[in-house]
């Protein structure tokens, strides 16, 4: 997946060069820069990158509600391999959402059910809380970050990084998914997952394995009733929300397979810039900056084949 992203750093430089071009040749800059939605609407086909079917995990809930998660193998390969094995072994068929903590997380899995994990699941994956910076093509955020020396985007993911230490990590933005764990050295298998439903709890960055994000249907999770027990656990197990099944998109028949793509390339650079400098008619003072988790990488459904 990252191979196709290697051009992003160059794209960013090309984007800046193109943006400066009118000044260099003395032409007037365009009267009205595009808004974020206009950039999405007019982005060329080539700036949209399809997400691999093996990186899409489809959860079906009670009430015909569907949530699609994108996996992040470039950041947590062992946990992601576990999650694929868990899905193929039916781990989430009959699992539950059992925790909803306001302004924090929704959590689901088999918790205290005693269900054994399928064969092939690595019981103690390594602490995939950060990775080497080398190999990632970063589009810089261009604004300061409270949690790391620098922040930006790599392969469509929000990342924080440290050039000196040579490390990078996924960030706990809204709708990002992580692996529930107990105290270390346990890192969690991936059997219990949580998704962020409030302001980014970035203090969890580099302390827990992030493995993906919800790219579709998240409202079905974020609007669930909050649990009233400590940490948002539901008081009665009858409040738990049943999960009917989870399947990798790659394992569904082609005609049923959901497809998604995210915005990259020059268009994403322009989008990030426009999000930091809102100039729609509503705005009188563009911020001139933007938080890593308030850019929102555009992801959209593609027509089925």
- Return residues touching a second copy (CB under 8 A): 100, 102-103, 129, 141, 143-147, 173-175, 183-184, 198-203, 205-207, 218-219, 222-226, 275, 278, 281-287, 289-294
Please enumerate in sequence order all residues whose Cβ is within 8 A of that of 130, keeping only pairs 6 or more positions apart, or say none.
167, 168, 169, 206
**d(C-alpha 83, C-alpha 71), whole Å:** 9
At closest approach, how far in Å is the CB of 107 from a second copy?
A: 15
At closest approach, how far in Å is the CB of 165 from a second copy?
A: 12
**Helix 8-24 and helix 265-276: axis angle, to 10°?**
60
Helix, strand, coil content of the chain in percent (nearest 5) = 25, 25, 50
At closest approach, how far in Å is the CB of 18 from a second copy?
A: 24
Taking the least distance from each CB to a second copy, the nearer of 86 and 214 is: 214
Taking the least distance from each CB to a second copy, the nearer of 116 and 283 is: 283
At closest approach, how far in Å is the CB of 144 from a second copy?
A: 4
Taking the least distance from each CB to a second copy, the nearer of 2 and 294 is: 294
At closest approach, how far in Å is the CB of 35 from a second copy?
A: 12
CB 39 within 8 A of CB 264: no
Please enumerate in sequence order all residues whose Cβ is within 8 A of that of 286, keeping only pairs 6 or more positions apart, or say none.
276, 277, 278, 279
Residue 79's H or E segment, with its range, is helix 77-88
Taking the least distance from each CB to a second copy, the nearer of 91 and 260 is: 260
Taking the least distance from each CB to a second copy, the nearer of 25 and 182 is: 182
């Amino acid at each position: 997946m990252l191979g196709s992203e290697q051009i992003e750093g160059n794209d960013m430089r090309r984007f800046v060069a193109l943006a400066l071009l009118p000044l260099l040749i003395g032409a007037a800059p365009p009267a009205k820069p595009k808004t974020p939605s206009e950039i999405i609407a007019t982005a060329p086909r080539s700036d949209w990158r399809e997400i691999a079917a093996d990186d899409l995990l489809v959860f079906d809930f009670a009430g015909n509600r569907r949530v699609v998660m994108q996996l992040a193998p470039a950041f947590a390969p062992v946990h992601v391999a576990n999650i694929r094995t868990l899905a193929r072994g039916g781990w989430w068929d009959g699992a539950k959402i059992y925790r909803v903590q306001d302004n924090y997380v929704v959590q689901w899995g088999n918790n205290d059910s005693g269900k054994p994990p399928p064969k092939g699941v690595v019981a103690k994956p390594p602490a995939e809380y950060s990775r080497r910076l080398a190999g990632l093509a970063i589009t810089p955020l261009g604004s300061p970050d409270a949690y790391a020396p620098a922040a930006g985007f790599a392969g469509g993911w929000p990342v924080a990084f440290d050039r000196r230490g040579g490390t990078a990590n996924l960030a706990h933005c809204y709708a990002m998914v992580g692996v529930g764990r107990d105290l270390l050295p346990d890192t969690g298998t991936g059997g219990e997952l949580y998704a962020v439903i409030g302001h980014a709890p970035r203090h969890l960055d580099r302390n827990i394995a992030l493995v993906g994000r919800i790219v579709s249907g998240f409202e079905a999770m974020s609007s669930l009733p909050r649990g009233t027990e400590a940490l948002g656990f539901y008081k009665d197990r009858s409040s738990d929300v049943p999960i009917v099944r989870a399947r990798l998109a790659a394992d569904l028949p082609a005609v049923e397979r959901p497809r998604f793509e995210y915005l990259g390339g020059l268009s994403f650079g322009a989008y990030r810039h426009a999000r930091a400098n809102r100039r729609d008619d509503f705005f009188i003072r563009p911020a001139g900056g933007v938080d890593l988790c308030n850019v929102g990488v555009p992801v959209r459904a593609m027509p089925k084949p």
